[in-house]
Amino acid sequence: MTAQLNPRGDVAVLVPAAGAGVRLGPGAPKALRLLGGEPLLVHAVRRIAAAPSVHTVVVAAPAADVEAVRAMLAPVAPVTVVPGGAERQASVAAALAAVPAGPDIVLVHDAARALTPPELVESVAAAVRAGHDAVIPVLPVVDTVKEVDAGERVLGTVDRAALRAVQTPQGFRRSVLTAAHEAAGDALTDDAGLVEKLGVPVDCVPGSELALKITRPFDLALAEHLLASGA
């Protein structure tokens, strides 16, 4: 059954899904790889569409797969699919350009974080709604972190207590994300980084271990296990 989005919702979710998945090894673009028999992108969109505030979902798909992705997602939720770009930032910009008038809150969420629970979408959106211009979900860093030089000699130990690992969805007041992308120069891996460059404060909310990014084969194996145990 197709999940209906909320016409009274105030949130648009952009889903960059146009990456190749090089680190996952040879095969289809990552968003189309299977997890429990379904593409990662289907898992991601199903969970986004289950978040009650979501008004619009725009997916940036690999350019060659736009029609296939439209057909694949039609039974999952009513989504807009646009061709992505060569870099993640270009894919996000393409999706942002396709958001209709209406939603004041824009979330950017990696298709690769396929098991992200709807509750995390809601908590990031709620923090933006409460007045924060930019919100990122974070987890504490568990490993000790060292800074090294080009020869792998340790320069020092970074204070772990002050570090956070950043996930998606990252949430923004729409005008702030639009301004950040207009001002963007060099490519960054996260949208909050663009907003920081504008001098806009970025605030953290607790992330979720289920929002892990499926990057390497180990992550896919872990996600298979989590899915099989009910995630």
Residue 85 interaction partner, one of Mg ion, ligand CTP, none, beta carbon < 5-8 Å per kind = ligand CTP
Which of 5, 60, 107, 195 touches ligand CTP by CB under 6 A? 60
Which residues lie below 8 Å from residue 142, measured CB to CB, with a gap of 6+? none
Pair of tokens at residue 204: 């953290």
Residue 45 touching ligand CTP (CB under 6 A)? no
Residue with tokens 């992550």: 219
From the list 17-25, 69-77, 128-136, 153-161, the region that binds ligand CTP by CB under 6 A is 17-25
Which of 5, 13, 14, 31 touches ligand CTP by CB under 6 A? 31
Residues 100-139: x where in contact with ligand CTP by CB under 6 A, - otherwise, as a string: ----------xxx---------------------------
Residue 213 interaction partner, one of Mg ion, ligand CTP, none, beta carbon < 5-8 Å per kind = ligand CTP
Pair of tokens at residue 217: 């084969």
Residue 64 touching ligand CTP (CB under 6 A)? no
- In the window 171-200, what residues touch Mg ion (CB under 5 A)? none
Residue with tokens 């990696």: 110
Sign of the alpha-carbon torsion through 203, 204, 210, 213: positive
* Residue 85 beta carbon to ligand CTP: minimum distance, rounded to whole angstroms: 6
Residue 86 touching ligand CTP (CB under 6 A)? yes
Residue 16 touching ligand CTP (CB under 6 A)? yes
Residue 30 touching ligand CTP (CB under 6 A)? yes
Nearer to Mg ion by C-beta: 19 or 84? 19
Residue 39 interaction partner, one of Mg ion, ligand CTP, none, beta carbon < 5-8 Å per kind = none
Nearer to ligand CTP by C-beta: 82 or 132? 82
Residue 169 touching ligand CTP (CB under 6 A)? no
* Residue 209 beta carbon to ligand CTP: minimum distance, rounded to whole angstroms: 17
Which of 53, 56, 91, 123 touches ligand CTP by CB under 6 A? 91
How many angstroms separate the CA atoms of 126 and 128, rounded?
5
85-106 CB burial, b ≥16 within 10 A, e <16: bebbbbbbbbbbeebeeebebb
